[in-house]
Amino acid sequence: MACEWPRLSLREANVALIDCDHRTPPASPYGYPYVTIPQLRNGRIELVSARRITPERFADWTRRAKPSPFDVVLSRRCNPGETAFVEAGAEFALGQNLVLLRADGTKVHPPYLRWLVRGPEWWDEISKYLNVGAVFDSLRCADIPKFELRIPPLPEQRAISDILGTLDDKIELNRRMSETLEVMARALFKSWFVDFLPVRAKQRARTQTGDPVRAKAEGRDAGLPLHIAELFPDSFEDSEQGEIPEGWEVTEVDSLCQSIASGGTPARMNPAFWENGRIPWFKTGELLDGPLLDSEEHITETALENSSCKLWPAGTILLALYASPTVGRLGVLTQPGTANQAAAGLIAKPAYGVPFLRRALLAARAKLQAIAVGAAQQNINQGVLKAHRVVIPNTSVAEVYARLVAPLDTRQVTLAEQSRALGALRDALLPKLISGELRTRPACEDQGCLECRC
């Protein structure tokens, strides 16, 4: 290489550390997000899952540390070194054990900071200054400004930011598109299979374009093609869950499935069960309500033959049984796979289909979580899941729903596969770009050359 980039401490690079408030504000049903460590995910901040605090608390908690665009949020505890950048327009308060890193632009291009803190050198510095504790490992605020990292010239930083940012933005766009597809699938499920529940007159007036059964019962247009509208009844009958469409029934989740079985964990002490394994083995933390492309860990054929693990086919729904509020989270296998004992695998009957069973389970989540919260271990078991009562339509309506929604689910899988490929490319490029191994311009340009003679 024609020249070497200098190594500077964060302090020398004019990257400021801003500590957060070390108190915890009371939660509120409304207001601004209060971000804690679990909200740092894959380099971004997940605001939807954050609890809320009032505007008054927000003003108080952001006096010391108010996030600005391109700041980096750093976790000092539990998963020390984990970072996420602040997107433009995001407003939130920082929780305990989080700090802000802010570049002033003189030596570090602010959009480049998010990539600087994700490379191998960053994790080398984390290891160097990590305080190993009995319960949690942690970083001291006083040590973080001492971290030394290779700092490219500003033009190189801008080019690197553009390359990695473009890949990351496409991944985020895919995530949002997938989220929109899921909203559409759930909205249709709610309209057809939930909105018939009794409502007050004012509420009904606001939603009268929704449930086809109630629309037909009230003499209104169901808002569907005739051949689909004819599949819905035009009256109601009493049931254990109140009024339901005539001919529909309240039944157990077990009735929608060919099988429901729990997973298992092969013995960790036996290397023959884990080394060079190729069979996906999922933990409930990997169940995020979407398609499951691959798992973090894999087991061997030997493990499958000598443990309680079960190999489920693609299309199986994995549902978390343990640890409220994780209970009820799910994922859909896109290839044969297994899971630990904290998850159940549900294989849908063809008459109802995976799309219908998937949204029926999501609609049942609140009730399943309520059961878990009331239990001693805040879990449910396979028996509780099988016996859970749900309203189901005649199979012709369920089949139409599955046929309409299946393309949305297929598109979610395609987007997830594309994002995985883009993520692999981004992660492969990142260390090479920020180390200078791969350059965006001839090395001599860093020294102001007008013509390259290297």
Q: State mean pLDDT over 367-387.
A: 88
Question: Do 123 and 430 contact (CB within 8 A), yes or no?
Answer: no
Determine, yes or no, domain membership for 339.
Answer: yes
Domain identity same for 56 and 175: no
Q: State mean pLDDT over 158-162.
A: 97
Torsion of CA 424, 430, 433, 437, to 10 degrees: -70
Binned at pLDDT 50, 70 and 90, residue 257 comes out as very high
Binned at pLDDT 50, 70 and 90, residue 211 comes out as confident
Radius of gyration of the chain (CA): 26
- C-alpha dist (Å) from residue 244 to 203, 206, 208: 18, 20, 17
The phi, psi pair for 18, rounded to 5°, reads -120, 115
Report the alpha-carbon distance of residue 64 to residue 47 in Å, rounded.
20
Domain identity same for 279 and 386: yes
Residue 122: which region, alpha, beta or left (left: phi > 0; alpha: psi -120 to 50)?
A: alpha
Domain identity same for 146 and 165: no
Query: What is residue 127's predicted lDDT score, i.e. its pLDDT?
Result: 95
Query: What is residue 201's predicted lDDT score, i.e. its pLDDT?
Result: 40
Per-residue model confidence as pLDDT tens digits over 259-278: 999 999 999 999 999 999 99
Asked whether residue 425 carries a pLDDT value surpassing 90, the answer given is: yes
Q: State mean pLDDT over 376-405.
A: 93
Query: What is residue 94's predicted lDDT score, i.e. its pLDDT?
Result: 94
Asked whether residue 86 carries a pLDDT value surpassing 70, the answer given is: yes
Give me the CATH number covering residue 360. 3.90.220.20
Give me the CATH number covering residue 181. 1.10.287.1120
Per-residue model confidence as pLDDT tens digits over 10-31: 999 999 999 988 889 999 999 9
In sequence order, what are the residues at sequence separation of 6 or more whose Cβ sits closer than 8 angstroms to the Cβ of residue 329? 284, 287, 288, 289, 319, 320, 365
Q: State mean pLDDT over 124-134.
A: 90
Asked whether residue 444 carries a pLDDT value surpassing 90, the answer given is: no
Task: Share the mean pLDDT of the chain.
Answer: 91
Determine, yes or no, domain membership for 1.
Answer: no
How far is C-alpha 91 from the chain's CA centre?
20
Determine, yes or no, domain membership for 122.
Answer: yes
Query: What is residue 21's predicted lDDT score, i.e. its pLDDT?
Result: 85
Domain identity same for 387 and 411: no
Question: Do 155 and 439 contact (CB within 8 A), yes or no?
Answer: no
Per-residue model confidence as pLDDT tens digits over 282-332: 999 899 999 999 999 999 999 999 999 999 999 999 999 998 778 999 999
Domain identity same for 242 and 114: no
Question: Do 113 and 103 contact (CB within 8 A), yes or no?
Answer: yes
| H or E element, residue 113 | helix 113-116
Bridge partners (DSSP) of residue 85 are 72
Structural domain boundaries enclosing 109: 7-151
Q: State mean pLDDT over 193-206.
A: 58
Domain count across the chain: 3
Domain identity same for 67 and 166: no
Determine, yes or no, domain membership for 452.
Answer: no
Domain identity same for 58 and 73: yes
Query: What is residue 154's predicted lDDT score, i.e. its pLDDT?
Result: 96
The tokens of 215 are what? 């629309």
Query: What is residue 64's predicted lDDT score, i.e. its pLDDT?
Result: 87
Determine, yes or no, domain membership for 447.
Answer: no
Domain identity same for 20 and 44: yes
| DSSP assignment string, 405-421 | HHHHHHHHHHHHHHHHH
Query: What is residue 198's predicted lDDT score, i.e. its pLDDT?
Result: 56
Could you say which of 111, 134, 151 is where a domain stops?
A: 151
Domain identity same for 39 and 123: yes
Coil/strand/helix, residue 291: strand
Determine, yes or no, domain membership for 388.
Answer: yes
Could you say which of 122, 151, 180 is where a domain stops?
A: 151
Burial status of residue 434 (CB atoms within 10 A of its CB: 0-12, 13-18, 19 or more): buried
Domain identity same for 233 and 267: no
Determine, yes or no, domain membership for 425.
Answer: yes
Asked whether residue 449 carries a pLDDT value surpassing 70, the answer given is: no
Could you say which of 118, 151, 184 is where a domain stops?
A: 151
Domain identity same for 238 and 365: no
Beta strands in 212-348 (DSSP E): 236-237, 244-245, 249-252, 257-262, 279-282, 291-292, 297-299, 317-320, 330-333, 338-339, 343-348
Determine, yes or no, domain membership for 448.
Answer: no
Binned at pLDDT 50, 70 and 90, residue 197 comes out as low
Domain identity same for 385 and 260: yes
